[in-house]
Structure 1
Amino acid sequence: MPATSVLVLGCGDVGSAVAHRLFRAGARVVLCDLPEPSHSRRGMAYTDALFNGTAVLEDVAARHVADLDAIRALWSAGGAIPVVTLPEDDLAVALRVDAVVDAIMRRHAMPPDRRALAATVVGLGPGFTPGINCHVAVETQWGDAMGSVLRDRATAALSGGPKPLAGIGHERFVSAGVSGRWCTSAAIGQDVAADEIVGTIAGTPVRAPLGGRLRGLPRDGVMVIAGQKLVEVDPRAAPRVFGLGARPRAAALGVCRALGLEAEG
C-alpha cells in the first residue's frame, strides 16, 4: 500500500525536492530540520521557511509551524508543506507516519538506524544499507544509477566531486576554513566578481572563488562548521540558482517509487 504520511528529515535541496514531489503526489508530508540550518542552496530548497515563516519552491509552498496540532491543521487545510524543528523521533511516533525519509545527506558520518520509527524508512546519500539502517535506499550519486531504488545493496560511497558547470567543478566552491558564526549581506542570485568578499566567519573574510552568480550561500547569522561547503558560484552564461536541481529531482522520483506513489521504471 502506498505511503500516505511521510516525515522527511533535512530541508536542504534534496530533502526539499523529496517533500515537494511527495506533496504533489498527494501524500501528507512534514519536513523536519534543526533550528537555523546552514544549508547553502537556499534558492533550491525550503530552508528559508525556518527563518521567514514561508518559502515557495516551484509553486509549492512550505510553512514553518510550531507543534503537532499545527501540522495536523495544515494537513487538513492543504496548500502548504509543514516545516518543523521538533525532535524527529517524537514526531514520527506522535504522527504515526507511514514512512520516514532520511535526506540529511551526510557526507562522512554513518547514518543511524531509524527503522523503528516507521514501517518504511528510506535512506538517501552515502552510508545506507537496506536491512542495516533503512528498509530501502535511493542512490543519489551522479551516474546511470542516480535515482535508482535499492532494496538489496548499499548506496555508493562518497567519491568523485561535484558535477562540472561550464567545465568547472570543485573550483566554484568555497568551504569554511574555521567553525563559527557566518555573517553576510550577499544574496542568492547575486552576481559576484572573483575574489569579492561575500561574507565572514568569526570576522575572517570569505571571498567568491570566481565570477558568476551566487548559487550557494548560508543564511546570515547561522553557525557553520569547518570544512562544510559554504559558497557556490554558478559560472554559466545562463546560471540556474532557483528551483529544483537535477539530482534532487532524481532522488525525489526514486523516493516516490520506493514508497509506491509512482511506478518503478
Structure 2
Amino acid sequence: MNNLRIVVRGGGDLATGVIHRLWRAGFTPLVLECASPAAIRRQVALCEAVYAGSATVEGMTGVLIHSLSEAVAVWQADQVPVLVDETAACVNILQPEIVIDAIIAKKNLGTHIDMAPLTIALGPGFTAGMDVHAVVETKRGHNLGRVILEGSAAPNSGIPGVIAGFGKERVLHAPAAGVLHVVQDIGSVVQKGQLIAEITTADGSVVPVEATLTGIIRGMIRDGFPVTEGFKIADIDPRQEELANCFTISDKARCIAGSVLELVCAYANKA
C-alpha cells in the first residue's frame, strides 16, 4: 500500500476510472461525494456506495465511511473509502499530497491550487497554473486525455461525443420536473420510441420518457430520484452487440485515468 495521500472529489463513472487506475497501481485514494449523487452510469460509479453502503467496479470495492477515522481499516482491506463531504472540508484535516477534482461539473465547485502540493482537475472550468496545477482534457477527439499545464480544457459544447453515428440523440433529459421512475434499466435493449421511464410531477401527472434511438440503455439515473426539467437522466448506446460496456469502465475514462496516473507518478518520483 502506497502511503501517498490522495483525495478524489467525485465518484461518477469518469472519476471511478481514475480511482480504479490509481488503485490498481497501488495508491490508496479517498473519495469525496455529495449526499445525493446523480450518476447516470451507476454500474461503474463508486458514488453508488453512498446509497448502498458499498459498490464494486471491476474488482475494486468502494465502501461508505462516516468519518476519516474509518478510512484506515478500509484501506487495509484493499478497498476504497467513500466519504460524503461535498465541500472537501476533510482536506484541511487530512492534508493530502494530491487532490483530484473529478466532479465533471463543467465548472469549479471550490477546488483551488493551495489544497495540496499537486492539484489536478478534469475537464473545463479550471485554468492550469491558476486554479490547479494541471488540467486533463475530457472532450472526445484528438486531445482526449491531454495534460494541460498552462491554460484550460476545451469549453463544454453541450453535445455528447458521437458513437456509431449518434451524438445528442444518445443522451436523454427530463422533459419535466418530478420524481423519476425507471421502466427499462441499464442493460436493457430498447427500440426507438419505447417507454423507458416515467416522471411523476408535483401535481400527480405522469410524463413519459421514450427512447430516442434503438440500442442498449448504458446509463439510467436511480429509480425515485427527483429531477428538474432538462436534467440528464439516461444514455443509450446504439451498439447493441456491446452489452458488456454497460458494466465496465469506458475507453474515455481509461484514457483520462492514464493521464492522471502519469501526473501522480511523476509527483511520487520527485517526492
Distance 2:229 2:72 in 1: 38
CA distance in 1, matches of 2:90, 2:238: 41
Inter-CA distance 238–114: structure 2 relative to 1 (3 Å threshold): same
Counterpart amino acid of residue 248 in structure 2 = G
**Alignment counterpart, residue 150 of structure 1, candidates 148, 152, 156:** 148
Aligned residue number for residue 21 of structure 1: 21
Give the CA deviation at 1:227: 2.4
CA, structure 1 residues 5+204, in 2 after alignment: closer, same or farther (shift >3 Å)?
Answer: same
Q: Could you tell me how far 1:27 is from its partner in structure 2? A: 1.4
Q: Which of 207, 211, 225 is the matching residue for 2:210?
A: 207
1:186/1:67 CA distance change after superposition, 3 Å: farther
How far 1:55 moved relative to its partner?
1.5
1:113 to partner: Cα distance: 4.3
Count of residues in correspondence between the two structures: 261
The CA RMSD measured in Å over matched residues stands at: 2.3
Change beyond 3 A, Cα 1:233–1:87: closer
Matches within 5 A, 1:40-55: 40-55=40-55
Counterparts of 1:220-235 in structure 2 under 5 Å? 220-235=223-238
Aligned match of 1:236 in 222, 239, 244? 239
Q: What letter matches 2:91 in structure 1? A: A
Q: Which residue of 2 aligns with 1:179?
A: 177
In structure 2, relative to structure 1, the CA distance for the partners of 1:154 and 1:89 (3 Å cut) is: same
Q: Does the alignment pair 1:116 with 2:121?
A: no
Shift in Å, 1:87: 4.3
Distance in 1 between residues matched to 2:108 and 2:62, nearest whole Å: 29
Judge conservation of contact 2:9–2:88 (CA < 8 Å) in 1. no
Identity %: 31
Contact 1:217 1:231 in 2 (8 A): yes
Q: Paired residue for 1:95?
A: 94
Structure 1 unaligned spans of 5+: none
Q: Structure 2: 5+ residue runs without aligned partners?
A: none
Task: Return the alpha-carbon distance in structure 1 between the equivalents of residues 220 and 167 of structure 2.
Answer: 17
- Aligned partners of 1:175, 1:200: CA distance in 2, in Å? 12
Q: Moved runs in structure 1, 4+ residues, more than 3 A?
A: 109-113
Residue type matched to 1:18 in 2?
V
One-letter amino acid matched to 1:100:
V
Q: What CA distance in whole angstroms lies between the structure 2 residues aligned with 1:232 and 1:153?
A: 31
**Shift, 1:189, TM fit:** 0.8
Closer, same or farther: CA 111–89 of 1 in aligned 2, 3 Å: closer
Higher RCO by CA contacts (8 Å cutoff, separation 6 or greater): 1
The answer to whether the Cα contact below 8 Å between 2:98 and 2:119 also exists between their aligned partners in 1 is yes
* CA apart distance, 1:112: 3.6
Q: In 2, Cα distance between the equivalents of 1:223 and 1:122?
A: 31
What's the TM-score once normalised by structure 2's chain length?
0.88
Aligned residues of 2:160 and 2:170 also touching (Cα < 8 A): no
2:214 partner amino acid: G
2:37 aligns to what?
37
